[in-house]
Structures are given as C-alpha cells and as structure tokens.
Structure 1
Amino acid sequence: MELCLLFQKKTWYQFIIERVKRLVIPLVFGVLVIVPPQVYYEEYIEQSSFFKVLPEIVLQNKVNHLWFIEQLFVLSLLFIPIILLMNSNKRFLVYNFMSNWSQRFEIFSWVVILIILRVFSKFYFPSNSNSLTNLSTLLFYAFFFFSGIVIAKNQNIWLLLQKNRRKNLFLAFISTVVFYVYYFIPTDVISPFLSLQHRWNLWYIVCCLVSWGVIISILGYSSVYLNNKSKVLSKLNEAVYPFYILHQTVIIIFGYYIINNDLTLIIKLILLLISSFFTIGVIYIFFIKPFKLIRFLFGMKNR
C-alpha cells in the first residue's frame, strides 16, 4: 500500500533508489552482521569460536529470516508497471471491477485467485523454500502484494472491509479451526480416500483460507480502530522494521541457553519471550534509534 503513495511523490527512478535504501541496504547489512550469529548458534557453536568461523559463515550468503526483505524488493521492481497503472486514470477500470466483485461476492472471495495460484504453482514448484527461484512462494506473496496495491486507494473496498469485518473474522476463525482439525487428523485416517497429491492440495487450500481471512479481518478492524493519528502508533510503526530484522537472531541466541535448563516448557517460553523482547527493545532504543548511520543500515527514515 505504501508503494502507491510513494509513486505519487517520486519518479520510477527515485522509487528504485528509495527501495534500495529501505530494502537492499538492510538486507546486505543483515546478511553480513545480523544473520551470522544465528548461523553460528545453529551450526558452529560446538566446533569453534564465532570470529574464527565468521568468514566462512559470511561466504555462505544466507539470508535466513530476511528472505522477506529480499522478496519484497524483487516484487517492488516487478510491480512498477502495475503501480504506475494504478496511479493513472486507467486505475478506475480495476477499481470498479474489484469493487463490483467485492460487493457481489464479498472480499473473502478473492481467496479463489490465491488458491488457484497456490495449487497450480505448487504442482510445479513443491518446495517450501523462500528462495526467489521458487515461484510457488513468489506468486503466493505476489497475490498479497497486488491486493495491497488494489486496496490502498480504493475507498469502496475499505468501506466493505469495515462493514464486513465481523463476518470476515468469523470466516477466519472457521478456517483456522478447519486448519488445525486437518493438521491433526492422522494420515492413516484419510490416506485410503485421498492420494498424497490431493491431501497436499487440500492443505494448500486451507492455508490460503486462513491467510486471506486473517489479513482482511485485521485490515477491517484496523481501519476502524487504528485509523486515527497517534504518537504511540507512529513510534511503534517506526520500530517494527528494526524489531523484525533483529528478532530471529536474538531469539536463537537466548533460546540456545534457555532450552538447556531444567525448566518446564511454559517457563522456558515465558523466559524467551521476556528476555528477547526486552533485549531487542534496549538495542532499538539505545543503539539504533538515536544514530543516523545505524538508522540508515536498518532501513529507517531520517528523524
């Protein structure tokens, strides 16, 4: 959604420069600095010291949880023609079509497109890898990317999201129940009736229903209750990106030491939640937020 607003103020060239600053710089910084500690704790901690194996880890060029930034940058470039279209007068053709469809069949029905994309792409690219070469994953997120572009400036769809937020939440809840029922059904119960491919297709369908249902529910409720200017919301929004970049590394480091303690699972989870959240918060407040260079490396805007 942010992209449509950016294109109103920038040329496509300026847009690409902005995407490089906000996405590529944090990605490169993350691969060189943020990801190596988690790779060390996952694979090397019992073999050698961190700094001794650091060059080897860096050369692996692993993105780990930062795959999302990598895909977001690629999608941003691929969708430039669509964003330009949505900022032109021709956007009303798309807006009217999607608005009429949503009024007639509900916004939840968009999930049909997602299901078709998911099932057919998974047939040719069954891997769960988040690599850019795995088109089943790229197309899955491309659907949400495109949906955000369509929804961003379409007031009719926003009104429908608000109006049907309770219905969408109910559908998301039902989809989630079906998701967990299907997840916990023993394989030998359904295998006599469905082939492996059909079972996977059902899984993809259920996952699509949950994903889309949850997202449109959040959008509907957020547009009602979080649509006012708020200093707190503004500060939290600014902190989201650094928290995302840091979270997996911090969780893995704390998790490594917490998991080996003789404590109950629930205590371990609570300790991990508190320690990781507190640590990320301290890093953000004292070592990222105040400094211009560090903010730049984490993809944050100037203060």
Structure 2
Amino acid sequence: MNRRHDIDALRVLAFGLLILYHAAMLYVAGAGWDFHLKSSHTAEWLQYPMLFLNRWRMELLFLISGLAMNFMRKRGGIGRLMGRRSLRLLLPLAFGMLVVIPIQPYVQGLSNHLVAPGFGHFLLRYWTGGPWPAGAFTGWQYGFTWNHLWYLPYLWVYTMLLLALLPLLESRHGQRLREACLKLRGARLLLLPALPLLLWNVLLADRYPVTGALWGDWYAHAVYATMFLYGYLLGTDTGIWTELARLRRVTLPLALGSFALYMLGIKGLPEDAAAPLWMTVRALHYLYLWSAIASVLGWGHAYLNHPFRWLPYAREAVYPWYVLHQSLLLLFAWWLMPLGLGPVAEPVLILLATVSGCALLHECVIRRVRWLRPLFGLETRMHQGSAPAVEPHRRLADDLA
C-alpha cells in the first residue's frame, strides 16, 4: 500500500491551526473565552472564526489518531502496541509537565499577582506540588498542570481502551459492524455519524462541562472517544475515502450552511425559547461538526495525497512543535504585551516569535540530540527523507500521535 500523504498533511495542518487558535485566545473577548493570559487588545468579533474552528478542530485530531491505530494494528500484537503507545504518549507528557509546561503557570501566576517573581523558586515549589493561592493559575488546585498537553493523557486512555476491545472489534460481529460503517454512502454518511455525537450532548453536556482534567470529563470523553473510534473504523478503506472525496462539494456548503444557522441560533434565540428550537440548534452543532470534518477529509484526499517535498520534515516536526508552542507563546506574550506595540504588531510579533522558537528548538536542538528525541515523541534515530517504501504502515503509524 502507498503512503497516505493526505493524512500526513492534514495532521500537520491541524496542528498548525492549533497554534493559530491558541495565539488568537490571547485576543478573543467575551464570556467563556478565558485563557492563561489576555492582551489589552481583545476583540469580540474573533469569537466567530474561533467558533468556526472550535466546533471540530480537536475532534479531527482524535479521528486522525484513531486512523493511526488502524495502521498500527496491521503490524503488531496488542501487548506490544500498548507498550509502544504508552512510551510515545506518556514520556513526552511527563517531560512536558516537568520541564516545558512550568513557564505557563508561572507567567499566569505573575499576571494574576498570586505568584512571586523568581522562576527558580517557583519551579521548586511547582515540582513539589504547591500549594498555591486559589486561582493562581489554571490547575492550581492540583499543584501542577498539563495545560495544552491534556490531549496526550486523553489519547492514551482511548488507545488503551481500544486495544483492550480489539478482540471484540475483530470478532465476526465486530467485523460486520465495521463493514456496515464502511458501506455508508451519500446522505447516510453525512447524517448518521453525527447522531451519536448529538446523543452524547443531550445526555451528558449539561451535567459534565468540559474540564480537561481527565477524571469526570465524561461528555468530552464520549465525543472524543467516538471520533477516535470513527478514525479506527475508517482506516484506509478505498470505498469510503473515494466517497468522501466525491461528496466534498456537498459537505463544504453543508458545513457552511449549518454553521451559519447554528450561529443564528446561539446568538439570536432567547434563553427561554422553546425546547424544540434549542434541540434544533444542538443538532446543527453536530451536523456542522461532522460535515466540516467530512469536508476536510474529502478535500484533503482529493488534493493533498501527494509526496510534497516539505511533508517529511513537517511530519517529524509536528510533535515537538505541539509540546513547545504554548509555553513559547505565553512566554513571548508576557514579554511583548507590556510594550504597547498595538493591535497589529503585537499579535504578529508574538506569533512570529512562537513559530521561530519552535523551529529553532526543533531543528537545532531536539532533532539532533539523541536522548532528547523520545522526550518530544520522536524515534531515537533520526530519519532522513521519506519513509522506506517497504513499511508504509509503520512509518505512517509512528508519525501519527
């Protein structure tokens, strides 16, 4: 089988959007948009593009990660996969929480005037679990935080659950279920995958708001684990990927239309509107979520499945950039925001500094120091150029977080 360059490219682009999204969080105004730091140049209009991305960006990443498990299963036993995935996910998580993340609660605590200046003193206190004044930083009550690295423990949990369920999924009945999913076409493919997501919202969203704290985050788990399972079921089945590409001219206007109606609902409906109207708004949310992802997959398969020269390098860089980006973003924001640079120069310089910092640390340090590589999710040995043709499944699976 040939390497799926479109999936590689989508993963790179999805994590690139994550960096832009977190940079924009410094500037979006309004209730529900709290972030570790906020600029004095906030704007409410940013809520619209942020909501446009927010409703599907993480779900896409979990779906792509589910695809990775489909590839991995073709070349390893369950026990071996559990070990490999645990090492690849939990080692960068532990290193990130101890070494990379601490600058984030430090600058947030300084901004809130609840942490004393002096990073060395803060770091010793952080490594010993605090305690901290209430509201010092996000996660203060736990003594330490994983902030944006929450994706890694969530993904580890879903991976372990999927591997434990593989005997059932690979049974005769499980294979029938997967075959039925892969035979979805047309309107059924556009509508049916959204229904479980809507069901989780109705049953869980009001009772279990999203926290990122792992335990008790049941609504988030239901949605993200479902998307992870979708990715595993999707795999590289030619028929359903061809159908997603065929439907791309339907899924794009469907996504845009459902998003527009969804925004009219959440912005225009009064809180005491009739329950059927609010249920319609909820349904539009998940129709938008799934149609947007189907559109991304379809257009990506049609136009990104090529061996772009930049792709092998970007494919390796994604994991280190993910681990580094928010710490660098908040550090540079803390330095630059007091300088009064204005609403254009300030975000541009913060974003450029963040991207440059990620690029320099990855290229000049992380990828060249053998013992550092696994701490950022990379194989110990540096790979040059494209993956070997003899093991396309292995390299693709190893590259997908």
Shared fold (TM-score greater than 0.5)? yes
Q: Match of 1:130?
A: 212
1:112 aligns with 2:195: yes
| Per-residue deviation, residues 115-134 of structure 1 (Å, max 9, x unmatched) | 11122111331x22012221
1:40 aligns with 2:106: yes
Q: Match of 2:258?
A: 175
| Per-residue deviation, residues 47-95 of structure 1 (Å, max 9, x unmatched) | 2200101122232231111000110000000111444555566554123
Contact 1:86 1:150 in 2 (8 A): no
Q: Match of 1:257?
A: 335
| Per-residue deviation, residues 214-249 of structure 1 (Å, max 9, x unmatched) | 222111111122222334212111111111111111
Contact 1:7 1:87 in 2 (8 A): no
Relative to structure 1, the CA distance from residue 180 to residue 123 in structure 2 (aligned partners, 3 Å threshold; closer, same or farther) is closer
Q: Match of 1:213?
A: 291
Query: Which runs of 5 or more structure 1 residues have no equivalent in the other structure?
Result: none
1:162 aligns with 2:245: yes
In structure 2, give the amino acid aligned to 1:96.
E
Q: Match of 1:191?
A: 271
Deviation at 1:114, TM superposition (A): 0.9
Q: Match of 2:358?
A: 280
Contact 2:190 2:291 in 1 (8 A): no
Higher relative contact order, chain-length normalized (CA < 8 Å, sep 6+): 2
Q: Match of 1:49?
A: 118
CA distance in 2, matches of 1:61, 1:79: 29
In structure 2, give the amino acid aligned to 1:297.
L
CA distance in 2, matches of 1:87, 1:227: 29
Taking structure 2 as the reference length, the TM-score comes to: 0.68
Taking structure 1 as the reference length, the TM-score comes to: 0.89
CA distance in 1, matches of 2:173, 2:344: 54
Helix, strand or coil for the counterpart of 2:101? helix
Query: Which runs of 5 or more structure 2 residues have no equivalent in the other structure?
Result: 1-66, 130-142, 383-401
Relative to structure 1, the CA distance from residue 42 to residue 116 in structure 2 (aligned partners, 3 Å threshold; closer, same or farther) is same
Q: Match of 1:269?
A: 347
Q: Match of 2:394?
A: none
Q: Work out which of the residue numbers 28, 31, 39 in structure 1 matches 2:97.
A: 31
Identity %: 23
1:79 aligns with 2:162: yes
- Larger helix percent: 1
Q: Match of 2:231?
A: 148
In structure 2, give the amino acid aligned to 1:3.
M
Deviation at 1:100, TM superposition (A): 3.6
Q: Match of 2:84?
A: 18
Q: Match of 2:374?
A: 296
CA-based RMSD: 2.4
Contact 1:34 1:245 in 2 (8 A): yes
Q: Match of 2:324?
A: 246
